[in-house]
Amino acid sequence: MVATENRLTKALAGKRDLLAVYYTAGFPALNDTVAIGESLAENGVDIIEIGIPFSDPVADGPVIQASNKVALDNGMNLRTLLEQVKALRSKIETPIVLMGYFNPVLQFGVGRFCIAAADAGVDGLIIPDLPLTEYVELYKEKFEQHGLINISLISPTTSEERIRNIDDNSSGFIYAVSASSTTGAKKEFGDEQIEYFKRLQSMKLKNPFLIGFGISNASTFKTASQHGAGAIIGSAFIAMLQSSTDLKNDIRDFIKSIKTS
């Protein structure tokens, strides 16, 4: 059973316009992870998504790829990341979701990872290359035992039947990838994407969905929030961090610029 006090479940309940922000742990500097998370919480971000860097992030575009590489070169690893998350958790109540490729988790040991993540105060996990069947057969019980919510991706090419299946096996939110694409910021959504968001809305899923990939500004955030429970920003935020000379101020301005409306 998912522990009832899961912060993510609480944050999602009946809410709209949710803003989730992704950043890579250990980027730009190894020890920025905690400070960035704190700033996001202070500025009212609803869900914090922390990336576990990986050498071969195949679902990611150039911006997040580069942040992964910098983080690894900075010496980031899963053990350090979990320590940082624990430190962050002692300061904030915002839900924390870890997002990363399966191999580092597999090497850490999935069981050991679940224990450590729960202990660090993690609420959910997004593992894009862990297939649904594998998750359900081998890992679901372990995740749930430690109160960790698994978040699955869907994309415009995911069939209705499979979306229903994913919905049945989800308990937090569904991560609706906005287009058939790797991660990366785009300026506006096209008609096809809007159609897809409407289709998702009309499916009346039991879980809320948040839209991610390609959210970059107030306009895309607003559109996404009109259809889904909110949106996830990644590449645009990472690009900002990369050029920032004053993280605290720049993060505040960035979040303000998204949430203007």
Partner 1 sequence: MNYKVDERGYYGQFGGAFIPEMLYPNVEELRSRYLDIISADDFKNEFHHLLKTYVGRPTPLYFASRLSEKYNAKIYLKREDLCHTGAHKVNNTVGQIILAKHLGKQKIIAETGAGQHGVATATVCALMGLECVVYMGKLDMERQRPNVERMRILGATVIPAESGNMTLKDATNEAMRHWINHPQDTHYIIGSVVGPHPYPDMVARFQSVISEEIKKQLSSEIGNPYPDYVVACVGGGSNAAGAFYHYVEDEHVSLIGVEAAGKGVDTGESAATTALGKPGVLHGSKTLLMQTDDGQVIEPYSISAGLDYPGIGPWHAHLFETGRCTFLNATDDEAMEAGVLLSRLEGIIPAIESAHAIAALGKMDLDDEDVVVVNLSGRGDKDLETYIRWGKY
212 phi and psi angles, rounded to 5 deg:
-135, 175
Strands of 148-254 (E only): list them. Answer: 149-150, 153-154, 174-177, 209-212, 230-233
Q: Does residue 74 interact with partner 1 by CB under 8 A?
A: no
* 182 touching partner 1, by CB under 8 A: yes
Given 56, 60, 119, 188, which residue is catalytic? 60
Among 74, 86, 102, 144, binds partner 1 (CB under 8 A): 102
From CA 129, how far away is CA 102, in angstroms rounded?
A: 6
- Note if 191 is an active site residue: no
Residue with tokens 């101020």: 249
User: Of 180, 201, 226, 257, which one interacts with partner 1 (CB under 8 A)?
Assistant: 180
Q: Which position among 32, 38, 49, 123 bears the catalytic label?
A: 49
Pairing status of strand 153-154 against strand 174-177: parallel
Q: Is 158 in the site for partner 1 (CB under 8 A)?
A: yes
Instruction: Provide DSSP, 83-135.
Output: HHHHHHHTT--S-EEEEE-HHHHHHH-HHHHHHHHHHHT--EEE-TTS-HHHI
By beta-carbon proximity to partner 1, the closer residue of 175 and 254 is 175
Cβ–Cβ < 8 Å for 113, 78: yes
Active site residue 137: no
Residue closer to partner 1, measured from CB, 61 or 86: 61
Considering CB under 8 A, how many residues would be counted as binding partner 1? Answer: 39
Which range binds partner 1 by CB under 8 A, 10-18, 175-183, 201-209, 249-257? 175-183
Distance CA 245, CA 53 (A): 22
- Segment interacting with partner 1 (CB under 8 A) among 18-26, 33-41, 89-97, 99-107: 99-107
Give the range of 9-17, 18-26, 101-109, 242-250 binding partner 1 by CB under 8 A. 101-109
Instruction: Kindly list the distances between the CA atom of residue 201 and the CA atoms of 112, 227, 230, in Å, as whole numbers in the listed order.
Output: 37, 6, 12
Taking the least distance from each CB to partner 1, the nearer of 90 and 133 is: 133
Rg (CA), the chain: 17
Of 10, 16, 44, 55, the one binding partner 1 (CB under 8 A) is: 55
**Closest by Cα among 191, 196, 194, 181 to 63:** 181
Binding site for partner 1 (CB under 8 A): 54-56, 58-61, 65, 69, 72, 77-78, 101-108, 128-134, 152-155, 157-159, 162, 177, 180-182
* Residues forming the active site: 49, 60
